Amino acid sequence: MSGETKDQELARKGRVVALVIAGSVLIWMALNVIGKAAGLPGRFALLFDLAALAALIWALVNIYQIWRARQADEG
């Protein structure tokens, strides 16, 4: 794979990670507000929290992979 193609792939992966982070936080906040307004039990709030946490952990793993790939390209 050429260097430019690899850079484009890493940039695309970075954009996906950014969208996942922003989207998961926005959806999490919206679900918490809707859940509270609808009077849902606390276990649903926990479910929303765990889903957001899973998305953020996925994003963190991908950020680490991007960082490692960029470090390998430099060295």
Assess contact for 52 and 28: CB atoms under 8 A.
yes
Q: Residue 43 belongs to what domain range?
A: 3-74
Pairwise CA distance, residues 39 & 56, whole Å: 26
Pairwise CA distance, residues 74 & 6, whole Å: 12
Nearest C-alpha neighbor of 65 from the set 25, 12, 27: 12
Confidence tier at 73 by pLDDT (50, 70, 90) = confident
pLDDT in tens, 4-62: 799 999 999 999 999 999 999 999 999 999 999 999 999 999 999 999 999 999 999 99
Task: Provide the domain count of the chain.
Answer: 1
Cβ neighbours of residue 62 closer than 8 Å, sequence gap 6 or more:
13, 16, 17
- Record the pTM: 0.87
Tokens of 63: 């950020």
